[in-house]
A and B are shown apart, each in its own frame.
Chain A
Amino acid sequence: MNIVAALLSGLVFGAGLILSGMTDPGKVIGFLDLAGRWDPSLAFVMGGAILVGVFAFALARRRGRAFLGGAMHLPQRRDIDARLVAGSVVFGIGWGLAGFCPGPALVSFGSGVDQAAVFVAAMLGGMVLYHAAERLLSRPR
């Protein structure tokens, strides 16, 4: 059941990304381009998602377990460190360069867009490189 629920969630998530316009990099860059002709649409995407999400996460927080019986895995950290900010800045630069973030890139890859395939391959490469670097640096010397 967990697998079916996750598949459906991914499907609805992807449908939302398509309907909202997030899978169009031109729209994303239009939102980030405050100095040009600004397209405010993405504020409505975030607003709509949070409008629904805020109730779901409030309910999730009050429940000890998920409705399908598994444990509730909610992030517990509250500290703000340099990694969080530096990583987010690096992500933001990549986002602004191409107009793709991970979700819309995967959906566009699913619709057979060549450019998204290149982006997704590089993104997976970036994740692998990060994990390799972290393992190397945390190795006791």
Chain B
Amino acid sequence: MTIDWSHFTPWSSLAGGMLIGLAAAMLVLLNGRVAGVSGIVGGLLVPRAGDIGWRLAFVGGLLVAPAAMAFYSVSPRIEAGFGTLALAGLLVGAGTSYGSGCTSGHGVCGLSRLSPRSLVATAAFMAAGIATVLVTRHFL
């Protein structure tokens, strides 16, 4: 294993991670809700009365974040073509619904709650992601 020092950003990643933790803290302490993005979006697709506004507001916050962070621009490196992106999106949508969470719900909030379910889920999606990149980058 070699470290990619040219892209390694320990401090901005740590600071960004702490902001994510702060956001999760705000949502759980103020609203009593877990900041799991797939769960929040999924709840909008099967809407229940009185359970829509906060979800829309949170997603709205995510969508306007780039405008608020316009001073900090990063150009994303996207290798996947549109076909791969569509397949990946389908898998992410179905998988997070079936497994009840994603990187935020299981990875950040679940691990912060010391939930054994979320630890297993995080280990599973990390392992699957690592295996997928191993195949696509080194065997195909």
**Chain A contact residues, CB within 8 Å of chain B:** 1-27, 29-30, 32-42, 44-57, 59-61, 63, 65-68, 70-75, 77-80, 83-103, 105-113, 115, 118-131
Closest to A110 in B: B63
Q: Are A59 and B74 in contact (CB under 8 A)?
A: no
A-B CB contacts (within 8 Å), total count:
504
Q: Which of B89-123 contact A (CB under 8 A)?
A: 89-104, 106-117, 120-122
Most A C-beta atoms less than 10 A away, residue of B66, B67, B121: B66
Interface pair A6/B20, CB less than 8 Å apart: no
CB pair A26 B134 closer than 8 Å? no
Chain B interface main SS type: helix
| Closest A-B pairs by Cβ, 10 of them | A10-B61, A126-B93, A87-B99, A14-B65, A20-B16, A48-B17, A92-B128, A122-B89, A26-B77, A52-B21
**What CA separation (Å) do A107 and B46 show in the bound complex?**
22
* Total residues of chain B contacting the partner, CB 8 A: 113
In whole angstroms, what is the CA distance A2 to B54 when docked? 6
Q: Which residues of B contact A (CB under 8 A)?
A: 1-4, 7-10, 12-35, 37-38, 41-42, 45-46, 53-55, 57-69, 72, 74-80, 82, 84-104, 106-117, 120-122, 124-134, 136-138
Q: A13-B19, A15-B68, A20-B20 are in contact. List 7 more A-B contacts (CB 8 A).
A: A17-B20, A40-B3, A57-B112, A99-B80, A118-B89, A125-B90, A126-B93
Whether the Cβ atoms of A35 and B138 lie closer than 8 Å is yes
Question: Which residues from chain B contact A29 at a C-beta distance below 8 Å?
Answer: 79, 133, 137
